[in-house]
Structure 1
């Protein structure tokens, strides 16, 4: 059940993360350290948070 929630979260977050990374490379160039560190870290934290939230809503019902 936990793997399903994580895969749902990844499928939701991954397209937006790819778009953000492409825009940060092409339209608004960012320093390499910022570009490499911040968006993937935020995506991982968002995936974990969404998975835990979904798991919590399923457990509470």
Structure 2
């Protein structure tokens, strides 16, 4: 945010970017966001499959 709407909004975005960098082990927010997206893409497919499998098993 080059021109944040408010100092508080800028601070919150900066805190979120820093936290994402720490969690993803990256030095910049763009790399951290890209890594987080890859992680979510890999993890979401098995979760959906497991959930569907449980629903089928439970309905029997």
Tell me the TM-score normalised to structure 1 length. Answer: 0.43
Question: Which is helix-richer, 1 or 2?
Answer: 1
Q: What's the TM-score once normalised by structure 2's chain length?
A: 0.43
Higher relative contact order (CA 8 A, sep 6+): 1
- Choose 1 or 2 for highest CA Rg: 2
